Structure 1
Amino acid sequence: MLQEILHFFGRAICHQIEERSLLASGKTLSVCARDTGIYIGIFSSLFYLHMTKRNTNITIPTIRTSFFLLLLMAPMIMDGLGSYTHVFESSNVRRLVTGIYFGLVLPYFLYPLVIGKALKKKAQPVITKAADFLIPFLISCSLGGLVYWGGLPFKVIDSFIILVIFSWGSLLVSFLFSKIQHNLLKWTFSIAGSLAMLTFLSILHKLIIS
């Protein structure tokens, strides 16, 4: 039952091609290797930022840092384009690693906007020291290794990935309710919106491929 539920929500954002997906406990994960990497990366930097920066006035990275971060997104874009246009064959290791780099970057730009402090006076860049990037990077590498080498049971890995997808979706949907001042109400709507969005996309995906 749990596997079917996880597969249902994974279908909302992924093609779920088996040969492009990783295995855990002999079972195929609900999203492909590239998406697995993306959400490992998102979790790592989002977790770090929330634990260390949520009470700080932060804004997006400086121009120089932003350029470096955007460069990290390029390998996944190139790998994806090369693979889908059949210029070269990719591998699950490459998909996982480039996905991690891509996902790692996203919260540095979106998290300051979500917590609503990016435009406040004296807001400091979200990255002010090397640890602000290196710690999430090491977390993501560790998680990526555990997932790739099957260091955790299927239910743990797959539930974790779908939970991160759901949480990231809630974070993005929260932009629609940014004017709501009451946090409990705002996040109730955001979570419900994320659930509705993923359900709709999963059903739509099923209808398209059937």
Structure 2
Amino acid sequence: MTVNDSFSWGNKQTSDFNEIGHNQAEYGYFAWSELNFYAAAIYAFGDLNCHQKHERSWEINGNQMPVCTRDVGIFFGAFILGLAWMRLGHNRWTIKDTFLSIFPDRKLNPIYEINRRGTAFYGLGLLCVLPIVLDGGLQAVTDYESNTIKRLFTGSLFGIGFMWFFCSSLCAKPSHFQDESQVLLPANARFVQPDKFHQETNEE
């Protein structure tokens, strides 16, 4: 592989103002063939997933990282949430309730008592996604320029939100219960079929 190989964005000679790559005459050339298999695979992944702008990326020992600081934040946030989920998350039938299961029941009791599960679910989702949409979106359509800390922070929040929903989607399995009455929810709440709910209400 050569420094001008067409398959690698990082190998393209560009100016500082292009959307992809960087000014190699100033910042240096790169070829996958110069790396071992594992490093080449990581940089290949970066080539296919990131703009790799030099001014938006970190350097370690003089080497530009394969992805920008925002992507570093995304992967970091996803990793942290994944670790937390292995210890705290569990199946509660629906994606929404499984999503919230990462919190202690005592913290969720007030939410379940007034049935604000949906508000909590969508609110936390917006909290994770909105910052990166605003920071990255404004940067894309206006003269606003973000900075490393903001990119890292908004990326981390998005990574947390993405992995949180991903884990919830995988873990929410109604088939693991005989019926909805077996699901243990905070505040002694329980799932009830609409016809059963109306029947119990009438009996009371």
Shorter-chain TM-score bucket reads 0.5 to 0.7
Alpha-carbon distance, 1:123 to partner:
4.6
Alpha-carbon distance, 1:124 to partner:
6.1
> 1:60 aligns to what?
99
Alpha-carbon distance, 1:17 to partner:
1.4
CA 1:33 to 1:118, structure 2 compared with 1: closer, same or farther past 3 Å? farther
> 1:16 aligns to what?
52
CA 1:115 to 1:81, structure 2 compared with 1: closer, same or farther past 3 Å? same
Contact 1:37/1:96 (<8 A) preserved = yes
- In structure 1, what residue type is equivalent to 2:41? I
> 1:114 aligns to what?
170
1:119-138 to 2 correspondences below 5 Å: 120=177, 121=180, 122-123=182-183
Q: Deviations over 1:37-70 (max 9, x none)?
A: 01110111112102333xx323233323221332
Q: CA RMSD in A?
A: 2.3
Please tell me whether residue 103 in structure 1 is matched to residue 159 in structure 2.
yes
- In structure 2, what residue type is equivalent to 1:100? S
Secondary structure in structure 2 of the residue aligned to 1:12 = helix
Please tell me whether residue 25 in structure 1 is matched to residue 64 in structure 2.
no
Greater relative contact order, per chain length (Cα 8 Å cut-off, separation 6+): 1
Higher CA-based Rg: 2
Contact 2:58/2:64 (<8 A) preserved = yes
Contact 1:42/1:103 (<8 A) preserved = yes
> 1:43 aligns to what?
79
Report the Cα distance in structure 2 between the residues aligned to 1:81 and 1:15, rounded to whole angstroms: 15
Alpha-carbon distance, 1:86 to partner:
2.9
Secondary structure in structure 1 of the residue aligned to 2:48 = coil
- In structure 1, what residue type is equivalent to 2:61? S
Alpha-carbon distance, 1:25 to partner:
2.3
CA 1:63 to 1:118, structure 2 compared with 1: closer, same or farther past 3 Å? farther
Alpha-carbon distance, 1:115 to partner:
3.1
Q: Deviations over 1:88-137 (max 9, x none)?
A: 01112211111001111122222122135267535568xx7xxxxxxxxx
Contact 2:72/2:155 (<8 A) preserved = yes
Alignment size in residue pairs: 124
- Comparing both structures, which one devotes a greater share of its residues to helix? 1
Unaligned runs of 5+ in 1: 129-210
Unaligned runs of 5+ in 2: 1-34, 93-97, 101-116, 187-204
Report the Cα distance in structure 2 between the residues aligned to 1:16 and 1:36, rounded to whole angstroms: 11
- In structure 1, what residue type is equivalent to 2:134? M
CA 1:49 to 1:123, structure 2 compared with 1: closer, same or farther past 3 Å? farther
TM-score between the two structures when normalised by the length of structure 1? 0.52
> 1:73 aligns to what?
129
Contact 1:117/1:123 (<8 A) preserved = no
TM-score between the two structures when normalised by the length of structure 2? 0.53
Secondary structure in structure 2 of the residue aligned to 1:42 = helix
Identity of aligned residues (%): 27
